[in-house]
Amino acid sequence: VMKPASVWVALVLFLVHDCTAWDQQELGMYDLIEEVNQNFYELFGIEPTATKQEVKKAYRKLSLEWHPDRNSAENAAEKFRQVVGVYEVLKDSSMREKYDSVLENGMPDWRSGIYYYRRYRKMGGAEALLLLLIALSGGHYLMLWGSFFEKRLVENQRRLKLKKGENRKQAEEEEEARKEQVLAEYRPTVWKSLPVILVQFGCSLLLHCLSSAKERMTALPPMEENEEEEVMRRPRRPLASEPREERVAEVAEVKAVVAEAPQQLMRAEEQKEMKQEGVWSSEEMAELVKLATTKFPPGMGARWQHMSKALGRTVEDVTTAARRIKHFQASEELSARQSIKVEDRSGEWSKEEQKLLEGALVKYPKGTEERWERIAEELPGRTKEEVVERFKLLAQMIKAKKEKQG
């Protein structure tokens, strides 16, 4: 004999398997049937026993007729989408069998689970939440009535036992009053329904949060007052307890320390800065070049000492950086000259071409449309790329010359 628990497990497994059988294609077919609202075979103009070739032929005809590129009707795109959906159903054997079953037995009604699932899929978030609240409220209300009837049954059984015994009439009346009082507590009312309970819980939670916040806000000022009272209660140092001469001497010592403190601090900072060595920033290098060329030019006495004090570095650090700058400028100038010579030799521009280029640059200033094409037309045998390259080379030479003079 199968146990009741086994029966429930088998029933649940059957329902789960039944639910998983509702695939997306089947749900889409039901939606398409409601949308088209016409027999698929009649729409394609074929018989229910038509072969796949006949279905494909009818689909080609309808797709050409309702294609949005060929048909200018307003509902052409929607009609074409429906034709494609019907073809997807009829070309598949399993889907075609399910559609034939719908033609024979009709669409799933309220007695089928898929009916409610399809309605649930079309709901929004608010609608689904409202439906869930209604279902839970109904279930909770039924549970309240079930608890009430159960309690009444227990009380009736207790009353029957009381009648069998030898009891007085007064005891029966007391038992009846107690029964009514107990059942009144279990009797379902509107105030015991789930929505009312949720609203009451939300209101109580909100009131609790507001009261807690109010208590915290009112608790802060007393703390500040207590702190202020503690500060006011601290013992003050008596001024008259010390001799006047000691106070005068102490004030003089403090003045001397205060007067010498800035000088000592400046000397400590100078010594600290004089000890700093290492990587020079671009701003420090620029300041060194400026001091060496304008403020402390060559030939000035104690030149490096003045620059080291101005930069906050040692004399050795300043002289080393100056030698590096001088060596870098010499190597950069040499490389620039070599590159200019090589590029100048590779270009092989004659004096006449140079004059024509200068005249064309004046003739076609900046902002002229197709400037470099027109300049290239003024120079026979030269392309636009060669003209642009020559102009860049001359600009680099002029820039290097200005930097050398500066």
**pLDDT tens for each residue of 223-244:** 444 444 444 444 444 444 444 4
Res 3 pLDDT > 70: no
CATH number of the domain encompassing residue 398: 1.10.10.60
- Are 9 and 55 found together in one domain? yes
Provide the residue range defining the domain that includes 69.
4-122
Q: Cβ distance 378 to 359 under 8 Å?
A: yes
Q: Do 98 and 176 share a domain, yes or no?
A: no
Q: Is the pLDDT of residue 192 over 70?
A: yes
Predicted local confidence at residue 247, as pLDDT:
45
Range with the largest mean pLDDT of 55-69, 125-139, 150-164, 205-219: 55-69
pLDDT reported for residue 212? 87
pLDDT of residue 126: 85
Same domain, 29 and 110: yes
- Does residue 112 lie in a domain region? yes
- Give 402: exposed, middle or buried? Use CB within 10 Å, 0-12, 13-18, 19+: exposed
Terminus-to-terminus CA distance in the chain, angstroms?
Answer: 111
Residues 75 and 164 in one domain: no
pLDDT in the model for residue 345:
45
Q: What is the pLDDT of residues 4-23, one digit of tens each?
A: 445 455 555 555 444 445 67
Residue type, 65: E
Residues 102, 156, single domain; the answer is no
Does pLDDT of 375 surpass 60? Answer: yes
Segment 85-110 shows an average pLDDT of 91
Q: Are residues 72 and 25 in the same domain?
A: yes
Q: Determine, yes or no, domain membership for 330.
A: no
Does 348 or 238 have the greater pLDDT score?
A: 348
Average confidence (pLDDT) over 106-132: 83
Q: Would 395 be classed as within a structural domain?
A: yes
Query: Residue 168: inside a domain, yes or no?
Result: yes
pLDDT band at 158 (very low <50, low <70, confident <90, very high): confident
Which region among 17-26, 115-124, 196-205 has the lowest average model confidence (pLDDT)?
A: 17-26
Same domain flag for 105 and 134 = no
Return the pLDDT at 172: 67
DSSP state of 192: G
Please indicate, yes or no, whether the overall pTM of this predicted structure exceeds 0.75.
no
What does 353-406 look like in DSSP terms, one character per residue? HHHHHHHHHHHS-TT-TTHHHHHHHHSTT--HHHHHHHHHHHHHHHHHHHHHH-
At 340, which amino acid appears? I
pLDDT of the residue at 80: 93
Nearest to 318 by CA among 304, 330, 332, 329: 304
Q: Are residues 8 and 75 in the same domain?
A: yes
Residue 280 has pLDDT above 60, yes or no: yes
Contact 288, 296 (CB under 8 A): no
Question: What is d(CA 198, CA 207) in angstroms, rounded to the nearest whole number?
Answer: 14
Length of the chain in residues, anyone? 406
Check whether 140 has a pLDDT greater than 50.
Answer: yes
Tokens 């209660």 label which residue? 233
Q: Calculate mean pLDDT across residues 54-64.
A: 93
**Do 16 and 98 share a domain, yes or no?**
yes
Q: In this structure, are 100 and 12 located in the same domain?
A: yes
- If one counts every other C-beta atom within 10 angstroms of the C-beta of residue 313, the result is 22
Residue 225 resides in a domain: no
- Percentage of residues in the chain with pLDDT exceeding 90? 18
Tally of CB atoms within 10 A around 260 = 10
Distance CA 83, CA 40 (A): 9
pLDDT recorded at residue 297 = 77
The predicted pLDDT at position 406 comes to 64
Q: How many domains does the chain have?
A: 3
For the chain, give percent helix, strand, coil, nearest 5.
Answer: 80, 0, 20
Q: Which residues contact 387 (CB under 8 A, 6 or more apart)?
A: 357, 372, 375, 376, 379
